[in-house]
Chains A and B, each alone.
Chain A
Amino acid sequence: MIFENIGLAAVEVFHYHNLMLMLIGVFFGIIAGAIPGFTVTMAVVLSLPFTFGMPPISGLSTMLGIYVGGLSGGLISGMLMGIPGTPASVATTFDGFPAVRNGKAGLALGLGVWSSFFGGLIGACVLATLAPSIAMIGLEFGPWALFSLIIFALTITASLAGENMVKGLIAGNFGLLFAALGAEEINAVDRLHFGFDVLSAGFAYLPVLIGLFAFSQLLGDIEDPKIARAPLMEKTGIKVKIEHWAAVKAIVRSWPNLIRSSAIGVFVGVLPAAGSSISNILAYDQAKKASKHPETFGTGDLDGIIAPEAANNATAGGALTTMMALGIPGSALCAIMLGALLIHNVVPSPLFISEQPVLAYAIFTAFFVAHFMMVGLQTFALKAFLMLTSVPMYTMAAVILVYCAIGTFALNNSEFDMWTLFWFGLLGYLMKKFNFPLTPVILGVVLGDLAELNLNRAWTISDDVSLFFTQPWSLFFILLSLFSVVFPWYQKFRGKRSWTLAFIPGMLIVQSLPLFMMGSIIRAGIGGFMVALALWLLWRTAQRGWILEPVEPLGAKPTVEPA
């Protein structure tokens, strides 16, 4: 059955029309990822007006192409300019830029490209093998657990806003509120429109997403008149030939680093809301700790290039796993992909893979194929990027702003959508100015209807609220939500307050409780393992005399100057 589905999906994905669209997607993804100020998310958002009219497989393949291309495109500007093209490539600049300055531009770029490739393939394998298994577990959830899972996705997204957690939670709630405005589908009631007929249909979420992400981002990019008028990159006269073979050999020699970094990437991706902007730094940090020569990190160490690039592409596989298996976006980008699926009346849920196997396997296949295209197109994209660098930012911003308007109109042939774009663009810009994170709003907008639907289903089955706490999976996610709310304080006081020593063991013990309630020997075994691990951690801390060890901030740029 699986092979039959893979075969059917492959026929669709390998159709020449689809391959052409993917090639275009990967190419523009690399360019967009390479331009500082343009994020992968923005590139995918901008592709929505083009892809929504396509068949689902073509549309999603193109978006996956942009996604994969964008993730690896960030390394180009990170290495050549020292400015990461996307947040996913921040750590790449730590050693990539010094390596280029040391005269190893070809090798450094090759390492970046091939690490992205191998990391992505590992992520794709995890996606193809793990997603169906997680989806099987997801079938047990029921409306209570699905509702709690959405709450968990929102709380963890907000908690990753760090000290702005309250702002993150407010943003998430406003996202839910935006989704609740206008026509309510379950009871067919118009609500919260203050008597304005124009608001009674509510906001289409794609103009909201384009406004919040793309429009506001463009305005931020041109805020400074000097930067707006300057070319994207000063003329460097760089002529780089990517050293593919030398890079592959270096990566093979450094395979433990590749595997470890990819595993970190996948793990971070699977967590809702934690994206490649975190995984690349985490992987770099671990590579440095595991290295025999950590002092060389920051001077152009090859392992310092392999780790973040493998991790950020692997993260995409992890994030897609959560999205496809549970219908919960692993990142803002996946939230947009999820929105694209919803346009085609495909609702990602634990049933998604079993109900839409061809589409699901097409996504796996397209993600896999996009990585090969990314390697093949990197040389051309690099040349195109170097040509584009003479264009000032304001030219691109102005053109894209108008494109946003045209594209938004094209989504539903509605002028109201363009007004939505405008107001949400303004809102997004102000939110950034006032340090409100945007990702929770996006998640709230995309997941709002799903949350209400599951709450309604749960209520229809039984009006007993305690079921949210007695259903094991629901309890599991509620407890995770509570821990995710406390997590920013844990991060803040780690190494300073003694209660942080008990946070992780405490979380393991408490989270084991719903596993014991599930009535399965394997899950009880996992619960038992978690308790044992917690006790061992506590014992180890006690042996050390409950000493608070100072924690080095993650993502701190190495201070070593390149030779």
Chain B
Amino acid sequence: MRSLNRDVYIALLLLGITCLYFWETSNIPDPGYASLGSDVWPRVILAPLFVLCVAYLIQSLRRGRTEGGEPFRFGVFFARYRNPILCFVIFFGFLLVIDFLGMLIAGIIVTFLLLSAIGDRTPKAIMMHVLVSVISVGLVWSLFTFVLRLYMPEGELIRFY
């Protein structure tokens, strides 16, 4: 089965984003006193961007259809990109819980989860992951908090300051 190459889809997506931003430039208020309105520069960027996206689309269409290998299967996709996907999911979760757990605890947990998700999960490895998480995040957190005097989110669970 032959299908459009992926660049065609990306070009269409980029064209869509460009058009969306172009439409949004019409919502930029005119301050009335400016020699060059605030909407001009974004349009100066978006006009060539539109042309480039069209060129990219034409270039991709000219390349023709690609021989579609196996149809998309989530299992195969996940197996191939397992580590990056897990990293994104864990990091996303980290950003969600940071207000509750605080930077230190959330940082230690997320490091441990990342290490255990990507690395080995033998008892020895798990112990090592705990140690690495506590020591590394603890050190960086202490450095920022006590040496550089930058206060990290402390969360609602434990109050440090």
Contact = CB atoms under 8 A, between A and B. Distances in A.
A219 B84 contact: yes
Contacts of B91: 401, 405, 422, 425
Given A187-B38, A229-B120, A402-B137, A422 B114 contact: no
Given A177-B45, A406-B103, A410-B144, A399 B136 contact: yes
B89 to A, nearest CB: 11
A395 B132 contact: yes
Nearest to B109: A402
A419 interface: yes
B150 interface: yes
A191 B151 contact: no
Nearest to A398: B114
Contacts of A6: none
A475 B34 CA distance: 27
Given A180-B42, A187-B31, A403 B10 contact: no
Contacts of A186: 34, 36, 38
B78 interface: no
Which residue, of B36, B40, B81, has the highest number of chain A Cβ atoms within 10 A? B36
Contacts of A220: 84
Contacts, number: 167
Which residue, of A53, A167, A187, has the highest number of chain B Cβ atoms within 10 A? A187
A134 B70 CA distance: 57
B100 interface: no
A9 interface: no
A390 to B, nearest CB: 12
Which residue, of B24, B45, B92, has the highest number of chain A Cβ atoms within 10 A? B45
Interface residues of B, number: 62
Interface in A411-427: 413, 415, 418-419, 422, 425-426
A559 to B, nearest CB: 31
A8 to B, nearest CB: 27
A288 to B, nearest CB: 35
Nearest to B28: A191
A452 B59 CA distance: 30
Contacts of A403: 136, 140
Nearest to B32: A187
A236 interface: no
B95 A399 contact: no
A220 B82 CA distance: 12
Contacts of B52: 166, 169-170, 173
Interface string B5-45: 01100100010000001001100110101111111111011
Contacts of A415: 95, 98-99, 153
Given A188-B31, A395-B119, A410 B150 contact: yes
A170 B14 contact: yes
Given A173-B52, A422-B95, A189 B140 contact: no
Interface string B115-152: 10011100000000000100011001100100010111
Nearest to B119: A394
Interface of B is mostly: helix
Contacts of B75: none
A433 to B, nearest CB: 9
Contacts of A429: 84
Contact of A180 (B45, B53, B95, B136): B45
A148 to B, nearest CB: 13
A197 interface: no
A356 to B, nearest CB: 25
A410 B31 contact: no
B101 to A, nearest CB: 13
Interface in A116-167: 166-167
Contacts of A409: 103, 152-153
A191 B39 contact: yes
B144 A426 contact: no
B42 A405 contact: no
Contacts of A223: 81, 83-84
Interface stretch (A103-111, A297-305, A454-462, A520-528): A454-462
A220 B140 CA distance: 24
Contact of B25 (A173, A187, A192): A192
A220 B83 CA distance: 9
A16 interface: no
24 contacts: A50-B148, A166-B52, A166-B59, A167-B56, A173-B49, A184-B41, A187-B34, A191-B28, A192-B25, A192-B42, A219-B87, A228-B83, A228-B118, A228-B119, A392-B119, A394-B118, A395-B115, A398-B114, A402-B111, A406-B144, A415-B95, A434-B7, A455-B36, A459-B35
Interface of B: 6-7, 10, 14, 21, 24-25, 28-29, 31, 33-42, 44-46, 48-49, 52-53, 55-56, 59, 81-84, 87-88, 91-92, 94-95, 98-99, 103, 107, 110-111, 114-115, 118-120, 132, 136-137, 140-141, 144, 148, 150-153
- Going nearest first, the 8 A-B pairs with the smallest beta carbon separation are A398-B114, A189-B38, A173-B49, A394-B118, A459-B36, A191-B28, A219-B84, A452-B41
Given A166-B52, A174-B49, 9 more contacts: A166-B55, A170-B53, A184-B38, A222-B87, A402-B114, A406-B107, A451-B41, A455-B41, A456-B36
